[in-house]
Amino acid sequence: MNNGQAQSRWISSILLMILAAVNIAAHVLSGSFAHTYVDELLAVPMIYFTIRLIYTEGIRFLPEIIFGVRAALQGLQYLAERTIGTLNNINFSLMVREAMPYAKMTLVCFAGMMGLECGRIVFRIFHQAYDHQSRQRRRLMMAELACILLVFASGVVYLVWEDNAISVSHYTYESDKVSATLDGFKIAQVSDLHNKSFGEHSHFLIKKLEEAQPDIIVVTGDLVDYNRTDIDVALDFINQAVQIAPVYYVTGNHEEALSLPQFNRLISGMEQAGAVVLDSEYVTISRKHGVVAYGDDSQIVVLADGTDDTFNLIGLSNRNLFHSKLHYIMPKTDGLNVLLAHQPQAIDHYAEEPVDLVFSGHAHGGQARLPFIGPVYAPGQGFSPQYTEGVYEVNGVSMVVSRGLGNSVFPLRINNRPELVIVELKQDSGFSILQ
């Protein structure tokens, strides 16, 4: 083996170990060793350096060959799972949506290939400059290269941490409509999970919920993602959440985009688990007795100790957010009205009714939150969105907007960790943040 081959093998082994370390760190931080987009991003570079480690002779267009083979295999997998005959039974647009996981993996894999190609170009330029320098300068250049690789690896690890380290935000809602009986009542909000699993069986998210000890858990839409729908993952979370506290759920735009069989399976599975699906209707909740009235008060389960012991929980389906449906489903009795509605930009519609407190999500915290700029983009609000996280007051209505937990089209969060929201009801008036 000549010096050039030895150097090539040495460099390949170091870079392979760095990529493997980054990949393992990503899985450890996410709490899961299931296949992720990080695996796809690093797939082409890792296979490339593995081949170079074994076979030191250069192979022309090796990254492109690796990418082409992986893309072809993903295409064959998609065709094998969905036979040609299904074209006669399933709407074509639905098939395109169902193919998105494969398309996204291919695009992420392509990004990995392009990153490798850019790295190769930079390395060639570096190597040519390295050959014409003194020994002292070469050492300095190697130190600079090591720093660049360290910064790159740290950046990847940071992005994975930002995407998986759940933060818990505590708020208190103070109102003269909160009775002494309801004082201290805790509501945990889970929003925009998008089929994400925080560890095996969402272990880390479930642990956070258990530690919060909520009286109820509200799920404000987008429990699944129509780009990579996995009903079993969603139902697995619900089955565990109902063991902690009663669960109340409203749909988001991603549930509304599901096929009818998928939607029916999701809803029936949640109801079988014991969750209450609020399809543009309300329930009256007693701290001591649970649900005491449903919808128009005609289905009384058990009498509460009095009206001071209850509050109304209204669930507005995503399809009814911007219509007058809320007006017709509002309770006719006085008392605290808490609304679950997926999209915050419809707050002006919510505030037209006697709603006191709104739980919303959808904005994903603006996806990326940049210093001095703030949230960048939110669906339904565009660039520089107004409602992305925290508490807002609009015409006397308090709205809590969760940053959500999962991702959809854009796979990363930047300075925008996934969020579990806990709101505690208190007597008095106003809305304040618990430190």
Distance CA 72, CA 49 (A): 21
Burial of residue 240 (number of CB atoms within 10 Å: 0-12, 13-18, 19+): middle
- Domain-ending residue, one of 164, 197, 222: 164
Residues 231 and 88 in one domain: no
Q: Closest by alpha carbon to 188, among 216, 220, 221, 223?
A: 216
Distance CA 185, CA 434 (A): 15
Residues 212 and 277 in one domain: yes
Angle between helices 37-54 and 3-30 (to 10 degrees): 160
Contacts of 185 (CB under 8 A, 6+ apart): 178, 215, 287, 311, 424, 425
Residues 419 and 305 in one domain: yes
Please, which residues bridge with residue 377 across strands? 383
Tens digit of pLDDT at every position of the chain (435 positions): 566 677 778 888 888 888 888 888 777 766 666 667 778 888 888 988 888 888 877 778 888 888 888 888 877 777 766 655 445 455 444 555 555 567 767 878 888 888 888 888 888 888 788 777 787 887 887 788 788 878 887 887 888 888 888 999 999 999 989 988 899 999 999 999 998 888 778 888 999 999 999 999 999 999 998 877 888 889 999 999 999 999 999 999 999 988 898 899 999 999 999 999 999 999 999 888 788 777 765 444 445 565 668 899 999 999 888 878 899 999 987 789 999 999 999 999 999 999 999 999 999 999 889 888 899 999 889 898 999 999 999 999 999 999 999 988 777 888 999 999 999 999 875 554 443
Residues 175 and 143 in one domain: no
Residues 151 and 184 in one domain: no
Residues 317 and 215 in one domain: yes
Residues 151 and 187 in one domain: no
Buried b (16+ CB within 10 A) or exposed e, 115-124: bbeebeeeee
Residues 63 and 202 in one domain: no
What angle (nearest 5°) sits at the alpha carbon of residue 234, between those of residues 228 and 240?
155
- Domain-ending residue, one of 130, 164, 198: 164
Residue 406 contacts residue 233 (beta carbons within 8 Å):
no
The amino acid sitting at 340 is L
Distance CA 388, CA 400 (A): 9
Count of structural domains, the chain: 2
Give the pLDDT confidence score for residue 85 in this predicted structure. Answer: 46
Residues 217 and 93 in one domain: no
Residue 149 contacts residue 18 (beta carbons within 8 Å):
yes
- Domain-ending residue, one of 164, 195, 229: 164
| DSSP string for 83-137 | -GGGGGTS-HHHHHHHHHHHHHHHHHHHHHHHHHHHHHHHHHHHHHHHHTS-HHH
Please, which residues bridge with residue 247 across strands? 217
Give the pLDDT confidence score for residue 380 in this predicted structure. Answer: 87
| Residue ranges making up the domain that contains 67 | 3-164
Distance CA 334, CA 350 (A): 17
Domain containing 319 — which CATH number? 3.60.21.10
Distance CA 339, CA 143 (A): 57
Residues 255 and 386 in one domain: yes
Residue 255 contacts residue 223 (beta carbons within 8 Å):
yes
Residues 97 and 193 in one domain: no
pTM: 0.75
User: Can you tell me which residue has the tokens 């007051």?
Assistant: 393
Residues 39 and 90 in one domain: yes
3-state secondary structure of 190: strand
Please, which residues bridge with residue 401 across strands? 360, 390
